[in-house]
Homo-oligomer: A and B are copies of this chain.
C-alpha cells in the first residue's frame, strides 16, 4: 500500500505545481492536473480532499524545507557573530539567497516552484493568503529582528518597508523572468539560461543591498 500512493501523490503534486505556476490557481482545472499526472480524476479528491487542500500541500511541500533552512542559516550566522549584529549582506543572502538557490535544486521544486511562489504572492486568494501568513510569520519575525539589530541607525518602519520592497524585487525577478522579456523585448545578450541563474543571484543581491542601505527619504 506504499508505492502506489506515494507515486500518485507526488505525480499530482508535481503536475499541480507546474500548472499552477503556468496558469494560476483558478486557471488550472482538476482534469488538467490529473491528465498531466497520468492519474484518475478522482485521485486528487481521494488523496488531498479538495483542490484548495492540494494547493496548500503544493506549498507546504516546499516551504517547510525553505523556512527551516532559513532559520538554520540565521542560527549559524548569529552563533558566529556571538552577540554582535550580523552583517546586513549576510542576512539578505540568508533570506533571499537561500530562496534563489532553490531554483537550482530540482529536488526542491527548482525554478518552477519559485515562479509559483512569486506569482502567488501578488494574487493571493483568501485561503492561500491565510495559509502563507501562518507559514511565514515566524521566519519573517526572526529576520526582521536581525535587520533591526544590524541597522540600528535606520528607523524600524523604514527597514520593514525595505524588506517589503526586497521581497517584491525578488518575486518579480523570478516570476517575471520570462514574462518581462516578452513585454519589453529586452535582449540580455551573451547569456544562456544555465548561466542566467548563477548571475542573477549576485546581480539581485547587489540591487537589494543597495536599496536596503540607500539614503533615507526626506518627507
Contacts and interface: CB of A to CB of B under 8 A. Distances in A.
A130 B199 CA distance: 27
Contact of A129 (B26, B175, B179, B213): B179
A6 interface: no
Copies assembled: 2
Interface in A103-133: 118-119, 121-125, 129-130, 132-133
Contact-residue bracket for chain A: 35 or more
A108 to B, nearest CB: 21
A170 B118 CA distance: 14
A210 interface: yes
Closest 9 CB pairs of A and B: A210-B214, A168-B172, A26-B26, A202-B217, A211-B211, A207-B211, A169-B169, A206-B217, A165-B169
